[in-house]
């Protein structure tokens, strides 16, 4: 294995000079720095991670705690894009990512906090997990720099999509086209669902629109089969809705399938809308009306916040950062005649 001593001998400089050049310290000439870096690359030199950790008191490794309730893993369109953006940004700053072991089948497994300490993570990002889990609470209450995505803890930094404003914008758009019988197949009861439901009802109240209680159905996110079932329930009502809003675009595709199976047309016979702005929604015919979440910005914002918490702890505030979504009108919400 090539050492800094070998590079120093090849370049006829001291080991200290090699160290300064490889760590981009300012008190060394540009020509010497370039020569040392070129020589190191040609000789196949790689810095020793353990030595760097001892020298800098950092592992340059960030832990990722991610468990999708729907068990879709990294095929989850929204969170996979968020984490991809996060990954690109932290790698630009010299950090690696390691997923925290979330399997609880092994009785000897470490807790999330124990795993994080064992790996020596400099920081942790948490996304799409049961935030009421005692192990998550233990991790959040630790002294490890941490950022959550789409969930807020009072004492921790978080990056959230503006779910309230997004649903408000989507519902206002539907109402503006003359719809008053609007059903909502929402996700399971969590913070995201609560914000979206509050916005949904707020818009309806502002327009003096009242709905039957059974127009709002709690389902699950990304549940195509469940969305099909709930859509059929709504279609069989004596007074069926003119528009159905779904918790996400994949659920909207399930509703799409159920409506077509009944021989109905979208949006001529019934309108639908989704949420998230996944690629599949724009490829449907007609394209699904939705809120496109800015996954690239969410991931990058979370990465920069966590890096600052790691590298500048004394000057970085714990705060919640909100990223706005964008209404994509699509072509699945019809204008009610007379409007």
Range from 43-57, 66-80, 145-159 that averages highest in pLDDT: 145-159
Q: How many CB atoms lie within 10 A of CB 102?
A: 15
Among the four given CATH numbers 1.10.630.10, 3.40.50.970, 3.40.50.620, 3.40.50.2300, the one describing domain 61-161+295-323: 3.40.50.2300
What digits encode the pLDDT tens for the residues 86-118?
A: 999 999 988 999 998 766 665 567 889 988 998
Q: For the structural domain made of 163-293, what CATH number should be given?
A: 3.40.50.2300
150 confidence band (pLDDT: 50, 70, 90): confident
* Structure confidence at residue 27 (pLDDT): 81
Chain centroid to CA 229: how far?
28
Token pair belonging to 123: 């920081």
* Structure confidence at residue 69 (pLDDT): 56
Instruction: Please give the Cα distance from 76 to 86 (Å, whole number).
Output: 15
Same fold, 4-47 and 163-293: no
- Report whether pLDDT(236) > 90: yes
* Structure confidence at residue 339 (pLDDT): 58
Architecture of domain 4-47: Orthogonal Bundle (1.10)
All structural domains of the chain with their residue ranges: 4-47, 61-161+295-323, 163-293
Instruction: Please give the Cα distance from 101 to 64 (Å, whole number).
Output: 9
Neighbour-count burial of 65, counting CB atoms closer than 10 A to its CB (0-12 exposed, 13-18 middle, 19+ buried)? buried
How confident is the model over 318-336, as a mean pLDDT? 95
78 confidence band (pLDDT: 50, 70, 90): confident
Q: Which residue has the higher pLDDT, 280 or 51?
A: 280
Distances (CA, A) of 172 to 176, 178, 202, 229, 333: 6, 10, 10, 26, 12
């Amino acid at each position: 294995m090539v050492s800094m001593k070998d590079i120093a001998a090849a370049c006829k400089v001291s080991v200290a000079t090699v160290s300064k050049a490889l760590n981009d310290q300012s008190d060394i000439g540009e020509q010497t720095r370039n020569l040392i870096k070129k020589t190191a690359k040609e000789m196949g030199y790689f810095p020793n991670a353990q030595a760097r950790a001892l020298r800098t008191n950092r592992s340059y490794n960030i832990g990722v705690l991610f468990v999708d309730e729907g068990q879709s893993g990294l095929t989850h369109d929204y969170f996979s894009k968020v984490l991809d953006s996060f990954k690109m940004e932290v790698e630009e700053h010299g950090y690696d990512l390691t997923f925290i072991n979330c399997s609880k089948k092994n009785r000897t497994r470490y807790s999330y906090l124990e795993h994080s300490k064992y790996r020596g993570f400099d920081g942790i990002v948490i996304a799409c997990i049961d935030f009421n889990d005692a192990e998550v609470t233990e991790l959040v209450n630790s002294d490890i720099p941490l950022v959550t995505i789409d969930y807020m803890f009072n004492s921790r930094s978080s990056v959230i999509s503006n779910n309230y404003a997004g649903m408000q914008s989507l519902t206002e758009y539907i109402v503006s086209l003359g719809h008053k019988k609007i059903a909502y197949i929402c996700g399971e009861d969590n913070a995201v669902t609560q914000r979206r439901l509050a916005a949904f009802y707020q818009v309806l109240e502002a327009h003096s629109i009242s709905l039957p209680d059974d127009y709002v159905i709690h389902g699950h996110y990304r549940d195509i089969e469940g969305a099909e079932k709930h859509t059929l329930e709504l279609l069989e009502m004596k007074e069926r809705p003119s528009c159905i809003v779904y918790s996400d675009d994949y659920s909207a595709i399930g509703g799409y399938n159920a409506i077509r199976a009944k021989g109905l047309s979208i949006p001529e016979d019934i309108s639908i809308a989704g949420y998230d702005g996944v690629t599949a929604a724009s490829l449907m015919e007609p394209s699904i009306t939705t809120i496109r979440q800015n996954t690239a910005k969410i991931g990058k914002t979370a990465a920069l916040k966590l890096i600052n918490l790691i590298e500048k702890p004394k000057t970085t505030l714990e705060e919640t950062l909100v990223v706005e979504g964008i209404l994509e009108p699509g072509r699945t919400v019809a204008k009610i005649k007379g409007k």
